[in-house]
Structure 1
Amino acid sequence: MNFNPETTRNLALAVLNNEADAVRRLTERVDEAFLEACRHILECRGRVVVTGMGKSGHIGSKLAATLASTGTPAFFVHPGEASHGDLGMITRDDVVIALSNSGETDELLTILPLIRRLDVPLIALTGNPGSRLGQDATVHLDVSVEREACPLGLAPTSSTTAALAMSDALAIAVLDARGFTADDFARSHPGGRLGRRLLVHVADIMHTNDAIPRVGPEAPLKDALFEITRKGLGLVIVADPDAHLLGVFTDGDLRRTLDRGESLEALTIGQVMTQGGHAARPQWLAVEALETMESKRINALPVVDDDQRLVGVLNMHDLLRAGVV
């Protein structure tokens, strides 16, 4: 081993610059062929079937996953398996995307006649427009690079980065054309943190009814403190008999009251509460409540309806349990 820190650092920078240049050059190839590829995907009545061997296959698998999670039904088929039965997964309503840097991958060329027989659109991403795959494709997208980032010129590096970037451009262009939204994305990712942030509403996690720490404005301060302790949410909400929100009282309000040296026995909650205060709505996304708490530096929020009537309460622990934080 001959590890030289400076040499290693310079090589790493050279790799990053090489791959960045390869991606920048792709901007010149977002042309009519690219738009035609998008149209074929958007008009597909079946599914987008992505295929590729080796490193191109890994990029293809990622493209299929990106399409599937952004509104385009898609899956990956290994070309080696396709010629042994999996080609039956492709129907006449589908679109095929094939990736190959050389455009001459044997396993892909083997199934080309079968794809032509199905008469489905074939979108090829290759580094060789003159290759057999490039020539036989309905649409060819040029992802060629001047040289690999590998100093030996052997390991697929810049070529796979270029194919990945063009694949992402294709998927995101189609996403936008479909009008795919953040809510749509969340529905296909319900188990992920992003899905929880975009799907969980305040009404889903707030405390309601008897779980709400609530007193009237004339309640003695000590009764309000007992209510805070019983409900364990770090605050008590002050409301009138019709449940209209009047104010809140928190641990911070208690400290400020003690600092003023006032007699706790003589006070009512209405005299020391924070009037009005911030409140959430049941229809808010939970992440909106989180943003309010963070910006106002508070740990709990009353929840009110459109008439400012108290319907619930939630605190930071509820957001943590829901996986929103």
Structure 2
Amino acid sequence: MADSEKANLLEFGRHVLRDEARALDALAEGLGEAFEHAVDLIVGCRGKLIVAGLGKSGHIGRKISATFASTGTTSVFLHLAEAIHGDLGMADSGDVAILISLSGETAELEPVIDHFSAVSIPVIGITGNSHSLLARAASAPLLLPQWREVGPESVAPTTSTTMSLALGDALAMTVMHLKGFDRSDFGRLHPGGALGARLKPISRVMHSGNEVPLTRADSAMRDVIVEMTAKRLGVVGVIDGEGYLVGVITDGDLRRHMEEGSIIRRASS
């Protein structure tokens, strides 16, 4: 590929990102009372948060629901096509719903909205059509700015799905902030993987009781080596007559100072 072609490709990619970034700026500037009302509905929800969508909006809805669930708000995803074939049974009074549809006129929306109305479930609508069925039915209509989809022919859902996802993040993070959901709460819901390892409390990984290798300050070096070998932690705590820690001996100390007289590093008082 020629250098000029590479430069054109890079510039096109940058155009995509910059155009979507401008759309997000416009979305942020347009937030108002409907956003505040949506947050109030979610914070006050006595049941679960239902997030529903179809197609690309469905994929975005799954991620938004997962973000809420991982940050302290009980949430489930409802596929609109499955909803009208029995899955509406998961919705009940006390729930709150977020419905996502750029057109706001998706055929599956009407029976879902009717059911939510019948069981008194308030609807938060994410749509780009202020005159749509969804916008009219929503207690909190969150309108996306009128912005062309980025990319060739502007046909693939790109900018609209980016804005919908970002709006879901804004809702979830605002609710998380208001609920006082902190690192310890987050750690409880993320016990696995690298993230869970970083957030795991010290009490879950520390050694205590008989697991801790200890020796008295007047012990023989042979006893220190036996204790360190038995407990396999690479360190031995040195305690005084009252059981207080006065120093430590590491395996490195043993290697470096085996033939020297003093190998205990005194603990700070």
Provide the residue aligned with 1:152 in structure 2: 153
Deviations 1:291-316 (CA, angstroms, capped at 9, x unpaired): xxxxxxxxxxxxxxxxx9xxxxxxxx
- The 1:224/1:123 distance shift into structure 2, 3 A limit, reads same
Separation in 2, partners of 1:172, 1:140? 19
Provide the residue aligned with 1:182 in structure 2: 183
258, 264, 268: which one aligns with 1:273? 264
User: Which structure 2 segments of 5+ residues have no match?
Assistant: none
Provide the residue aligned with 2:249 in structure 1: 249
Deviation at 1:255, TM superposition (A): 5.0
Provide the residue aligned with 2:134 in structure 1: 133
Deviation at 1:92, TM superposition (A): 2.1
Deviation at 1:36, TM superposition (A): 0.5
Deviation at 1:53, TM superposition (A): 0.8
Deviation at 1:150, TM superposition (A): 1.7
Does 2:117 align with 1:116?
A: yes
Deviations 1:135-161 (CA, angstroms, capped at 9, x unpaired): 221111012342212222011111101
One-letter amino acid matched to 2:245: L
- The 1:35/1:239 distance shift into structure 2, 3 A limit, reads same
For the residue of structure 1 that corresponds to 2:9, the secondary structure is: helix
Deviations 1:124-178 (CA, angstroms, capped at 9, x unpaired): 0011212221122111101234221222201111110100000010011111111
Separation in 2, partners of 1:233, 1:40? 52
Provide the residue aligned with 1:22 in structure 2: 23
Separation in 1, partners of 2:80, 2:176? 26
Retained in 1: the 8 A contact 2:26–2:145?
no
Deviations 1:29-78 (CA, angstroms, capped at 9, x unpaired): 22111000111111222211111111111111111111122222211111
Deviation at 1:25, TM superposition (A): 1.4
Separation in 1, partners of 2:236, 2:243? 13
Deviation at 1:248, TM superposition (A): 1.0
Separation in 2, partners of 1:228, 1:90? 59
User: Which structure 1 segments of 5+ residues have no match?
Assistant: 278-307, 309-325
- The 1:223/1:95 distance shift into structure 2, 3 A limit, reads closer
One-letter amino acid matched to 1:156: P
Deviations 1:154-213 (CA, angstroms, capped at 9, x unpaired): 11111101000000100111111112222222222233443344343336541532x433
For the residue of structure 2 that corresponds to 1:119, the secondary structure is: coil
Separation in 2, partners of 1:52, 1:29? 23
For the residue of structure 1 that corresponds to 2:97, the secondary structure is: strand
Provide the residue aligned with 1:232 in structure 2: 232
- The 1:218/1:78 distance shift into structure 2, 3 A limit, reads same
One-letter amino acid matched to 1:225: I
What percentage of aligned pairs have identical amino acids? Answer: 42
For the residue of structure 1 that corresponds to 2:45, the secondary structure is: coil
Deviations 1:71-100 (CA, angstroms, capped at 9, x unpaired): 222111111111122122211221111001
One-letter amino acid matched to 2:263: V
One-letter amino acid matched to 1:244: Y
Separation in 2, partners of 1:17, 1:105? 30
1:10-159 to structure 2, matched below 5 A, reads 10-159=11-160
Deviations 1:208-233 (CA, angstroms, capped at 9, x unpaired): 32x43322222344543343334322
Retained in 2: the 8 A contact 1:126–1:144?
no
Deviation at 1:22, TM superposition (A): 1.3
Separation in 2, partners of 1:202, 1:73? 27
Retained in 2: the 8 A contact 1:145–1:162?
no
Separation in 2, partners of 1:192, 1:32? 39
Retained in 2: the 8 A contact 1:67–1:171?
yes
Retained in 2: the 8 A contact 1:51–1:78?
yes
One-letter amino acid matched to 2:97: V
1:283-298 to structure 2, matched below 5 A, reads none
Retained in 2: the 8 A contact 1:145–1:158?
no
Moved more, 154-163 or 102-111: 102-111
Provide the residue aligned with 2:167 in structure 1: 166
Retained in 1: the 8 A contact 2:148–2:159?
yes
How large is the Cα RMSD of the aligned pairs? 2.4
